[in-house]
């Protein structure tokens, strides 16, 4: 019954929302974790993922929804992962092949449930992985999103081994660049508790406020991939701070 309803809902909705998407599930240190499903009522769902309303992108770079999507309200639970562990994000499909994927974290606090009282606003966020244009030209080259399309719509990230233990938000962000002068941001967040003996935290130079990190006039974001001189460039500068990897490889 529920499965049928889901099938009907998804096929009806896909007519309108085909062009967009988001993360549906995570595999965390080998354990499968359902995501929050935006087209069901929040009631009855239990997920490590913060709530999001629909598959549409965020356009406004100063919107609080850029942090953990709209509305970005709390998950119901968190997942345990050791520092150095792997997190895989599964998308149910992805339609765009030009753009970057950036994975971020923010420290919520020492208690395992600290993210339930942390809104993610402020200078707390650091990158742990970023992939933009890997090879070729802006118009036709190998982008992170092309890699996503040929990897079972799965994006794998390792939690830095030396990261101090504690509760963290993890935020996956797709930046799609196929619409001229209109970058699309697709963020989703999940609650984690990272364990381990690591002692490191990223220093100031790695930390940013998400509502403020992107500039609407940044030439890496406000561009058209279809016209010269941009189309045939072989470099695309990934905006924002450097990636924090910690001192242990």
Binding region for ligand NAG (CB under 6 A): 24-25, 32, 34-35, 37, 90, 152, 154, 181, 216-217, 222
- Could you say which DSSP state residue 138 is in? T
Neighbouring C-alpha atoms within 13 Å toward the C-beta of 213: 25
Rounded CA separation 125/109 (Å):
13
Residue 153 CA to residue 131 CA, distance in Å, equals 15
From the list ligand NAG, Cu ion, none, which binds 181 (C-beta under 5 to 8 Å, kind-based)?
ligand NAG
Nearest distance in Å: CB 123, ligand NAG = 23
| Among ligand NAG, Cu ion, none, residue 156 binds (CB under 5-8 Å by kind) | none
Report the side by side order of strands in the sheet with 154-158.
31-34, 25-28, 86-90, 154-158
Pick between residue 93 and residue 136 the one whose CB is nearest to ligand NAG: 93
> 230-246: string of b/e by CB count within 10 Å (b at 16+)?
beeeeebebbbbebbbb
Nearer to ligand NAG, 90 or 116 (CB): 90
**CA-based nearest residue to 245, from 201, 188, 193:** 201
Q: Which is nearer to ligand NAG, 216 or 248 (CB)?
A: 216
In the complex with ligand NAG, which residue's Cβ is closer, 142 or 182? 182
Q: Tell me the closest approach of the beta carbon of residue 49 to ligand NAG, in angstroms.
A: 8
Query: Among ligand NAG, Cu ion, none, what does residue 152 contact (CB within 5–8 Å per kind)?
Result: ligand NAG
């Amino acid at each position: 019954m529920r499965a049928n309803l889901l099938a009907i809902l998804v096929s009806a909705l896909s007519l309108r929302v085909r062009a967009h998407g988001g993360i549906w599930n995570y595999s965390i240190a080998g354990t499968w974790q359902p995501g929050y499903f935006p087209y069901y009522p929040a009631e009855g769902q239990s997920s490590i993922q913060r709530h999001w309303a629909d598959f549409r992108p965020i356009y406004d770079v100063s919107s609080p929804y850029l942090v953990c999507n709209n509305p970005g309200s709390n998950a119901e639970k968190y997942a345990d992962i050791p520092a150095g562990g792997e997190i895989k994000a599964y998308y149910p499909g992805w339609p765009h092949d030009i753009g970057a994927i950036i994975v971020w974290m923010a420290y919520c606090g020492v208690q395992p449930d600290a993210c339930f009282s942390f809104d993610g606003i402020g200078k707390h966020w650091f990158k742990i992985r970023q992939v933009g244009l890997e090879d070729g030209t802006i118009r036709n080259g190998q982008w992170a999103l092309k890699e996503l399309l040929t990897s079972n719509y799965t994006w794998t990230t390792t939690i830095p081994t030396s990261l101090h233990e504690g509760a963290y938000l993890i935020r996956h962000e797709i930046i799609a660049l196929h619409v001229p002068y209109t970058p699309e941001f697709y963020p989703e967040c999940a609650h984690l508790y990272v364990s381990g003996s690591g002692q490191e935290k990223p220093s100031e130079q790695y930390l940013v406020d998400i509502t403020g990190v992107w500039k609407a006039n940044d030439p890496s974001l406000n561009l058209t991939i279809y016209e010269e001189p941009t189309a045939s460039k072989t470099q695309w500068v990934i905006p924002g701070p450097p990636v924090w990897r910690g001192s242990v490889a």
